[in-house]
Amino acid sequence: MSDQVTAIVLAAGAGTRMKSSRAKVLHEIGGRSLLAHALTAVRDVGAATTVTVVGHDREQVAAAVTDLDPTVVQVVQEQQRGTGHAVQVALDGLDEAPEGVVLVTYADVPLLQAQTLAEMLLEHRHAGSAVTILTAEVGDPTGYGRIVRDDAGAVQAIREHKDASDAERAIREINSGILAVDAAFLSHAVSTLEDGNAQGELYLTDIVAKAVAEGRPVGAHVLEDVWQTEGVNDRRQLARLGAELNRRTLEHWMHEGVTIVDPHSTWVDSAVSLARDVTILPGTQLLGATDVAEGATIGPDTTLRNVEVGEGATIVRTHGADALIGAGASVGPFAYLRPGTELGADGKIGTFVETKNARIGDGAKVPHLSYVGDAEIGEGSNIGAGTITANYDGVEKHRTTVGRHARTGSDNVFVAPVTIGDGAFTGAGTTVRDDVPPGALAVTAGEQRIMEGWVQRKRPDTASARAAAEPSDEETGTRE
Ligand code: UD1
Ligand code: MG
């Protein structure tokens, strides 16, 4: 018997209850679409061929499938005539009839794990079954197909809710919809399906009774973890499953040695990677392909998307995307790292600082109240408080380059394109329009002028004038 696995992922349904212009299966939890979760599970179980059945919102769904995995075969089910029909269409879309086992899964069931599928496949092969059904015992089975067993407990049929008798509706073991089926049996069984049922559909589930009638063994893999069988039909279920996925992701990382101070206010996407002894403080979201190295501390109140954080770095109350933070670096509080920010080892992006497309070297510091965009700041340089790179001339963007170990004064404007050389200094309030050579001091602020008595003359009878007229504390000797 071939040990080949072919997966059929059903994704043609309408998703009306989402009330969305986006296809249901493209809604996301854990930073991945429902579809991506489903495709990941069948890929990880080792399916050699995967077929996706698309129908409703097919342009959107097909484009997403191609994007996720161009090797996935796509077939179109023009009319949704039932799950059995969907599988017929999928089999017709293959060049050759599949061998071995066919796994049928749904694109809107995101928590299903590859490991569950692997266990189910093992059981299926071990028992030599024609069909193995992934089932679960649920509190409220309304709407689901029920697993009908005989007195000895052998599975006899799946009865759809709408077709079930009262006695059958009392059964709490349900069909998750996920099946492993002997490929040869499937090809033959789906061609015999009929639509004489309450919904006038071709039910894939009817293949169970067919196997029983042919004397072929049918198995049920009962899953304790009901979450894995749950589908998303509306936004409430999307939020519920999203929260559960997050809880599982956090448990995984805590198990791997990550401290998560407040799991209730921490969100970590499925593709995020965290090393040991990372500490995540409350109110933190780590999204996309964010990767945090050992010993780093993130949060509180920080959102990072696709940010690589080096060993031992500290990121406090920060919003960042598509950025690299070096080992031992410090960011925030209240920093905004926009795409293309690269901070070197032991560097600092401090309080109320915005950066974009900026390389800030090892040990370099932008500590306070600055905007650094389209810039390169060399190793060990210090940028004074309140510095702005004026990168935009109204038409085009230009670059600012600051060399190594430069010391620029507070309240500077670097009018790009401009270069400040290695070891150069600038005075407070300098507007740097021309290049500053290495080792030079640049100042542009005018000399300070003093107009004695100006306030008494120009602003008489004001609090300022009175304050200026009073003898100081030191003169009256009233200091405490
Ligand atoms: C189906 C099962 C039911 C099971 C339930 C689990 C059948 C007949 N019934 O019920 O036993 O308890 O799932 O959720 O199989 N789809 C298509 N094309 C179609 C019809 C459906 O691609 O023509 C896809 C849908 O997009 C969805 C999946 O198949 O992903 C299941 O369809 P849905 O209508 O939700 O299943 P039910 O009929 O509720
Ligand atoms: Mg249906």
Instruction: For residues 138 and 53, state if they share a domain.
Output: yes
Instruction: For residues 276 and 211, state if they share a domain.
Output: no
Please tell me the distance from the alpha carbon of residue 348 to that of residue 360, in angstroms, as a whole number: 9
Check residue 1 and give its pLDDT. 59
In a domain, residue 174? The reply is yes
In a domain, residue 145? The reply is yes
Check residue 424 and give its pLDDT. 98
Q: What pLDDT band is residue 475 in, cutting at 50, 70 and 90?
A: low
- Return the bridge partners of 92, or none: none
In a domain, residue 330? The reply is yes
Check residue 445 and give its pLDDT. 81
In a domain, residue 213? The reply is yes
Question: Tens digit of pLDDT for each residue in 211-220?
Answer: 999 999 999 9
Q: What pLDDT band is residue 446 in, cutting at 50, 70 and 90?
A: confident
Atom of ligand 1 nearest to the CA of 55: 22
Last residue of a domain, one of 229, 258, 293: 229
Check residue 452 and give its pLDDT. 96
Check residue 135 and give its pLDDT. 98
CATH of the domain at 214: 3.90.550.10
Check residue 478 and give its pLDDT. 52
Instruction: For residues 242 and 151, state if they share a domain.
Output: no
Check residue 245 and give its pLDDT. 98
- Higher pLDDT residue, 374 or 446? 374
Instruction: For residues 177 and 244, state if they share a domain.
Output: no
Last residue of a domain, one of 171, 195, 229: 229
Check residue 477 and give its pLDDT. 57
- Which residue CA neighbors atom 26 of ligand 1 most closely? 13
Q: What pLDDT band is residue 472 in, cutting at 50, 70 and 90?
A: confident
User: Which-ligand-closest: CA of 12?
Assistant: 1
What percent of the chain has a predicted confidence (pLDDT) above 70? 98
In a domain, residue 454? The reply is no
Q: Quote the tokens at residue 69.
A: 């995995």
Atom of ligand 1 nearest to the CA of 24: 26
Distance 90 CA to ligand 1 centre (A): 15
**Ligand 1, residues 27, 54, 81, 83: which to mutate, most atoms within 8 A of Cβ?**
83
Check residue 471 and give its pLDDT. 82
pTM for this entry: 0.94
Parent domain of 404: 235-442
Q: Using the predicted structure, report yes or no on whether residue 413 has a pLDDT greater than 60.
A: yes
Q: Using the predicted structure, report yes or no on whether residue 479 has a pLDDT greater than 60.
A: no
For residue 417, cis peptide bond before it (omega within 30 degrees of 0): yes
Mean pLDDT of the 127-156 span: 97
Question: Tens digit of pLDDT for each residue in 20-67?
Answer: 999 999 999 999 999 999 999 999 999 999 999 999 999 999 999 999
In a domain, residue 464? The reply is no
Instruction: For residues 251 and 212, state if they share a domain.
Output: no
Distance 86 CA to ligand 1 centre (A): 9
| Known catalytic residue at 368 | yes
Instruction: For residues 306 and 190, state if they share a domain.
Output: no
Last residue of a domain, one of 229, 259, 293: 229
Instruction: For residues 74 and 189, state if they share a domain.
Output: yes
Into how many domains does the chain fold? 2
Instruction: For residues 180 and 265, state if they share a domain.
Output: no
Check residue 283 and give its pLDDT. 98
Distance 82 CA to ligand 2 centre (A): 6
Atom of ligand 1 nearest to the CA of 11: 26
Instruction: For residues 38 and 132, state if they share a domain.
Output: yes
Check residue 462 and give its pLDDT. 96
Question: Tens digit of pLDDT for each residue in 238-291?
Answer: 999 999 999 999 999 999 999 999 999 999 999 999 999 999 999 999 999 999
Mean pLDDT of the 327-356 span: 98
Query: HSE (CB half, 13 Å, CA atoms) of 189?
Result: 24
Instruction: For residues 90 and 225, state if they share a domain.
Output: yes
In a domain, residue 451? The reply is no
Instruction: For residues 15 and 55, state if they share a domain.
Output: yes
Check residue 2 and give its pLDDT. 83
Question: Catalytic: which of 56, 319, 368, 405?
Answer: 368
User: Which-ligand-closest: CA of 52?
Assistant: 1
Burial (CB < 10 A; 0-12, 13-18, 19+), residue 288, is: middle
Which of 373, 438, 378 has the alpha carbon at shortest distance from 404? Answer: 378
Atom of ligand 1 nearest to the CA of 108: 30
Check residue 179 and give its pLDDT. 98
Distance 12 CA to ligand 1 centre (A): 10
In a domain, residue 463? The reply is no
Q: Using the predicted structure, report yes or no on whether residue 161 has a pLDDT greater than 60.
A: yes
pLDDT, averaged across the chain: 97
Instruction: For residues 12 and 68, state if they share a domain.
Output: yes
Q: Using the predicted structure, report yes or no on whether residue 473 has a pLDDT greater than 70.
A: no
